[in-house]
Amino acid sequence: MAASRGGGAARNSRRKILKPVPVFIRWRYRLTLFFVFLALGSLFVRLAWIQLISPDRLVMEGDMRSVRKLSTESTRGMITDRNGVALAVSIPVKAVYCDPKILHDSGAYGNRRLWKALAEVLGIAQDEIEEKIANPKRRFVYLQRQVTNSVAEYIRSLKIDGIYVKNEYRRYYPTGEINAQLVGITNIDDHGIEGVERSFDDWLSSTPAEHRVRKDAKGRVIEQLGTVNEGKKGGAITLSIDQRLQSIAYAAVKANFEQRQASSISAVLVDVHTGEILAMVNAPSFNPNVHAKYEGFRARNRAITDTYEPGSTVKPIVAVSALEHRITNWNEIFDTRPFRVYSKVVTDSHHMASGNLEAIIKYSSNVGMARIALKMDPNDIVGTFNDFGLGVSPDLGLVGEVTGYVPHRSRWSEIEKATIGFGYGLRISPVQLALAYATIASGGVSRPLSILKLDQDQIPAGRRVADEKVMRRMIRTLETVVEGGTGKLARIRGYTVAGKTGTAKVAVAGGYGRDYVGTFAGFAPASNPRFALVVIVNEPKKGGVYGGTVAGPMFSEIMSAALQLYNVPPDEKGSREAVGIVRLRDH
């Protein structure tokens, strides 16, 4: 037993002796350290390269996963009348768009029942939708613009991968057809294409502000990184128009347009003291909120784009020119019997044998004015026309306004000299005629017209274009036109009115046709003029053709409303002397 224990101890002793003893090998140790430090050095070099020398690529890759641009939408500027009544506003709507690639990848493209439902709610053909989304390489296509919130919510409820809804704005015009041609309209991209919307598009337009933000994996904004683009807020515009007068004027114009079956009617009302246009209306008009029924000829603002031969409405200006160039005087008597100029016979619709300048204007004698014009240098008449704003751009800043046509010739025929005396051979727009009568009303001081509201310090002083004494006498003469001449239907109870009728044939190829243009231009109160108004009825088919008949009653209706709304006191007969206007009595 003892021998056995001894033998086991001997074996254990041998095993301990045979166990290898570690040997330190210096070169191996150094080699290992070399590779360890080499690896660490490589890591530090790579880290320095990434962090200090070339960090941009990884930063970019990180930003691509977390940094986003957010747009802050801003709306197009409002258009209001002079009292703050909204004429054009932007309302929020939705746009439905598609990412065809996502749509095809999700397999939703093959579901025709889905497209049928979508087509019905959007109100477009199913084939049209399928055509838009057919190309799987496209990444963006509009399906429908300017849809309502309820339609947008329904489309969201369909949960179609690749079909999305985003916010946008649509222009709305609260006053509808009343201001349609003046205010104009915008297109689907919210850019002006007619009227004030187009003329002042740069000022009204807005651009969204863009901000850089960092988002987490759940799409939440965790950091604001700054502004990329500050954007532009749409500027507001305050027009000189008074919506109350605009509505009254349009109601009168529209009713007469339908009653007289005219081709068109225009009316322009001006504040004589400031040159601001308080009303500018046309018929026919259109509803700017229904783009599907948009017709270009209805959108034209005829008050600034269309021209007409003014007829007898320019006789006072011709008379002023004759008086200032000392061709005649108020007392000279003219033979007003018909006479011949070469093969043409000049005649009157209101026959009289003779008369002075006041009678010629009161009864609108073409013969009398032709005889005066034949004594003049026609270029003197043209110069006076230009001084009063005829043949000159009204410079309102509106797209489409014309200069009209006032002839400038080195040689004039006798018939051209005669006819320019009673308003033939030239073409002017309604707004130009309104400027001319505002100039007469202000006693010969021409103030530029404005379609924008003016502050007190912006009102122009104006430029004198005619002698004040001559203009005072002319105002009284124009008053007799309404009191007992061709403009009786333009009277306004309680107020003195001064004005002139005009009736001209419509020019056609090779001469004149059978249609007429009837005009009344005037101002009130005659004793201290506040408003000037022009009404032009183009080609009336019923109810007469003369300016006093077709335009005079509308003048009375619109001007009466303006005087009452602005609390202009009725002017009794004795008040004219107080403002220095000479009173002449008929004999």
Tens digits of residue pLDDT in 259-285: 999 999 999 999 999 999 999 999 999
CA-closest candidate to residue 426, choices 382, 472, 461, 369 = 382
Say if residue 424's pLDDT is above 60: yes
Sign, CA dihedral 108-109-111-115, equals positive
Lowest mean pLDDT among 108-122, 240-254, 477-491: 108-122
More confident residue, 496 or 60: 496
Q: What are 94-112's pLDDT values in tens digits?
A: 888 888 888 888 877 777 7
| Of the ranges 43-57, 408-422, 571-585, the best mean pLDDT one | 408-422
Q: Residues 533, 267: contact at Cβ < 8 Å?
A: yes
Separation between Cα atoms, residue 4 and residue 483, nearest integer Å: 159
- List the structure tokens of 38: 């080499």
Q: What are 137-189's pLDDT values in tens digits?
A: 888 889 888 888 888 888 888 788 888 888 888 999 999 999 999 999 999 88
| Phi, psi (degrees; rounded to nearest 5) at 524 | -160, 160
What is the per-residue pLDDT for 15?
Answer: 54
Q: Residues 347, 323: contact at Cβ < 8 Å?
A: no
Q: What are 247-257's pLDDT values in tens digits?
A: 999 999 999 99
Helix 366-374 vs helix 315-324: angle between axes, to the nearest 10 degrees?
30
- pLDDT-derived band at 218, boundaries 50, 70, 90: low
- List the structure tokens of 478: 């124009």
167's enclosing H/E stretch is strand 163-172
Strand-pair partners of 239: 452
**Catalytic residue, candidates 206, 264, 312, 560:** 312
Separation between Cα atoms, residue 541 and residue 543, nearest integer Å: 7
What is the per-residue pLDDT for 572?
Answer: 54
Residues of the chain with CATH 3.40.710.10: 243-292+301-578
Lowest mean pLDDT among 23-37, 218-232, 555-569: 218-232
- In the chain, % of residues over pLDDT 90: 60
pTM of the model: 0.82
Average pLDDT over residues 239-246: 98
Helix count and strand count (H, E) for the chain:
23, 19
Separation between Cα atoms, residue 383 and residue 479, nearest integer Å: 25
What is the per-residue pLDDT for 123?
Answer: 82
| Residue that has been written with the tokens 């300048």 in this structure | 357
Which distant-in-sequence residues (6+ apart) come within 8 Å of 327 by Cβ? 372, 375, 376
**Taking the CB of residue 7, how many other CB atoms lie within 10 A of it?**
10
Average pLDDT over residues 308-334: 96
- List the structure tokens of 322: 């004759």
Average pLDDT over residues 8-30: 65
- In the chain, % of residues over pLDDT 70: 89
Say if residue 463's pLDDT is above 60: yes
DSSP 8-state code for residue 265? E
Separation between Cα atoms, residue 533 and residue 562, nearest integer Å: 10
Say if residue 480's pLDDT is above 90: yes
Which distant-in-sequence residues (6+ apart) come within 8 Å of 440 by Cβ? 316, 317, 388, 471, 474, 475, 478, 523, 532
Measured in whole angstroms, how far is the alpha carbon of residue 360 from the centre of its chain? 42
Q: Residues 189, 207: contact at Cβ < 8 Å?
A: no
CA distances from 472 to 141, 369, 380, 404, 441 (A): 67, 20, 21, 28, 9
Lowest mean pLDDT among 295-304, 435-444, 533-542, 549-558: 295-304
My answer on whether omega of the bond before 525 falls inside 30° of 0, hence cis, is yes
- pLDDT-derived band at 574, boundaries 50, 70, 90: very low
Say if residue 131's pLDDT is above 90: no
Separation between Cα atoms, residue 488 and residue 492, nearest integer Å: 10
- pLDDT-derived band at 28, boundaries 50, 70, 90: confident
What is the per-residue pLDDT for 24?
Answer: 73
Q: Residues 176, 289: contact at Cβ < 8 Å?
A: yes
Q: Residues 291, 185: contact at Cβ < 8 Å?
A: yes
Which distant-in-sequence residues (6+ apart) come within 8 Å of 346 by Cβ? 338, 339, 340, 366, 367, 370, 418
- List the structure tokens of 509: 């190829």
Q: Residues 388, 422: contact at Cβ < 8 Å?
A: no
Q: Is 106 a catalytic residue?
A: no
Q: Which CATH class is domain 71-214+223-238?
A: alpha beta
Sign, CA dihedral 424-428-431-437, equals negative
Query: Buried (b) or exposed (e) across 60-97, using 16+ Cβ within 10 A?
Result: eeeeeeeeeeeeeebbbbbbbbbeebebbbbeebbbbb
CA-closest candidate to residue 189, choices 217, 170, 214, 209 = 170
Residues of the chain with CATH 3.90.1310.10: 71-214+223-238
Say if residue 359's pLDDT is above 50: yes
3-state secondary structure 493-508: CCECCEEEEEEEEEEE
DSSP state letters, 79-136: EE-TT--EEEEEEEEEEEEE-HHHHHHHTGGG-HHHHHHHHHHHTS-HHHHHHHT--T
Q: Residues 555, 535: contact at Cβ < 8 Å?
A: yes
Separation between Cα atoms, residue 357 and residue 477, nearest integer Å: 9
Fold of 243-292+301-578: Beta-lactamase (3.40.710)
Separation between Cα atoms, residue 204 and residue 198, nearest integer Å: 9
**Per-chain mean pLDDT for the chain:** 87
Pairing of strands 163-172, 141-147: unpaired
Strand-pair partners of 283: 265
Q: What are 401-421's pLDDT values in tens digits?
A: 999 999 999 999 999 999 999
Say if residue 19's pLDDT is above 80: no
Lowest mean pLDDT among 54-63, 215-224, 410-419: 54-63
Strands (E), 352-492: 354-355, 445-446, 463-464
What is the per-residue pLDDT for 582?
Answer: 38
What is the per-residue pLDDT for 72?
Answer: 67
Lowest mean pLDDT among 110-119, 259-268, 287-296, 567-576: 567-576
